[in-house]
Amino acid sequence: MADYDVIIVGSGPAGIFAALELVKKNNPKVLILEKGPDIDKRKCLQRTTGKCAHCKPCRVTSGWGGAGAFSDGKLTLSTEIGGWLGNYIGESELARLIEYVDSIYREFGATAEVHGTDDEKVRQLEKQAVLADMRLVPMVVRHMGTDRSNDILKLMKLRLESHIDIRTGVQVSNILVEDGRAIGVRTSSGEEITSRYVIVAPGREGADWLNAEARRLGLKPVSNAVDIGVRVEVPAVVMEPLTKELYEPKLIYTSKSFEDRVRTFCVCPYGVVASETTDGITTVNGHSYADQKTENTNFALLVSTAFTEPFNEPIAYGKYIARLANLLGEGIIIQRLGDLMDGRRSTPERIARGTVRPTFTDATPGDLSFVLPYRYISDIKEMLNALDKVVPGVNSRNTILYGVEVKFYSSRLKLAPTLETEIKNMYAVGDGAGITRGLVQSSASGVVAARAILSSDLRRK
């Protein structure tokens, strides 16, 4: 007899929502295994001292709540944003799941306030974007804030603790498979725990592990694109025409020089720039808090690149670019846009003379053109010029750029509409499985897998 009905590997949004859905019926025996610490122990020294301690695993990306625990806490309530889950379950079902997931977040304390509901204003902004050769993706956004997200995740854990077993600080090394069927997991300490079903939800932090496990088990992942770019920081008043109405404006631009797709990502009104470290590689990110505001707004500009042949290792390429930035800048590089335009590195004195006061002070003044290929630099300059037509001031010489920001979208496994892999009773969900890239769709993917398990023989147990 198996130790558990279901083992969930990873306690990010996908794993948590899978567990929340499972415990609604028949009280199954569920175990969550998380390699990072409990949420109360996820203390990032960089946030208090300004210096990254290079914790292993990273406290920002690992632990209860996953990378989402320290994210900006934005719930993007659109089927167009946040991943490819609709390709598996259909757009109409995804829309219903988004509404359902949103209701769960609100049940645990997410704010009732939403952005992007004034159709007339949104249409006007769409028109402005079109005239600047960009496309604005209209969507409704509910912003929880990094601080409130943390509280919500604690409440979810409190709810689950009375129904399931949760073990943090336990790393899974292998999925146990017998006769083409998942039968449990083996931890890094050698412990074998059996189960009738396994839901793999390792998040971005565990993407490489899942990819390696998939290959070991004979599964053939399909590579996603990699997004590489910079984080832009400007005075909040500059972005207010967009952020006041939309909060998270999603703008997509096709560069004229290379016809590359460039987009805004993770807009953080009145927020702070931060770093995160994964597998020893430090990249830049951003956050906004519910109750704390700065004078700046930051956002990423990302260029999407898909490789084919003979090279098809987008994650390896993204890591190479990030390592180069870490080598030259001892972590994150900061540069004024004017200095980039003039072909010179920034210095502390040049940044101090600017009108934008950086919210991230542990970056090294330098020259991003030594890190990012010319193609990416050209694409980013074009996008900033186009964006300036909608919100004048973005393309200022005083605008601050941080590099690099890299989003690794994990290799995708071949999955059924239920998100079951080619190995029976093994499900792969969330960002680590390469099918989502945000809180809402990641959470929804966990619900999909849980419902599939509940509708199987577990329901008749």
- pLDDT tens per residue, range 198-235: 999 998 888 889 988 999 999 988 777 789 999 999 99
Task: Find all residues with CB under 8 Å of 244, minimum gap 6, and list them.
Answer: none
Within 10 A of 25 (CB to CB), how many other CB atoms are there? 13
Q: What is the DSSP letter of 42?
A: -
Q: Tell me: the pLDDT tens digits for 240-286?
A: 999 999 999 999 999 999 999 999 999 999 999 999 887 788 999 99
As a whole number of angstroms, the distance between CA 64 and CA 71 comes to 13
Summary count for the chain: helices (H), strands (E): 13, 19
**The tokens 């005239």 sit on which residue?**
131
Higher pLDDT, 457 or 335: 335
Q: Tell me: the pLDDT tens digits for 339-366?
A: 999 999 999 999 999 999 999 999 999 9
> What SS3 state is found at 362?
coil
Tell me the average pLDDT across 364-380. Answer: 97
- Which amino acid makes up residue 111? T
The residue extents of the domains of the chain are 4-115+141-222+412-454, 226-408
Task: Find all residues with CB under 8 Å of 435, minimum gap 6, and list them.
Answer: 83, 84, 85, 87, 88, 412, 415, 419, 428, 429, 441, 445
As a whole number of angstroms, the distance between CA 442 and CA 422 comes to 20
CATH number for the region 4-115+141-222+412-454 comes to 3.50.50.60
Instruction: State residue 410's pLDDT score.
Output: 61
- Which amino acid makes up residue 98? I
Instruction: State residue 232's pLDDT score.
Output: 98
Q: Tell me: the pLDDT tens digits for 149-177?
A: 889 999 999 999 999 999 999 999 999 99
Among residues 292, 271, 294, 265, the alpha carbon closest in space to that of 406 is found at: 265
Cβ atoms of residues 359 and 273 within 8 Å:
yes
Among residues 382, 386, 362, the alpha carbon closest in space to that of 303 is found at: 382
Residues in the chain: 461
C-alpha distance from residue 359 to each of 181, 356, 402 (Å): 50, 9, 11
pTM of the model: 0.85
Torsion of CA 147, 149, 153, 155, to 10 degrees: 80
Cβ atoms of residues 210 and 39 within 8 Å:
no
Cβ atoms of residues 63 and 234 within 8 Å:
no
**Which token pair is 20?**
């929340």
Instruction: State residue 458's pLDDT score.
Output: 60
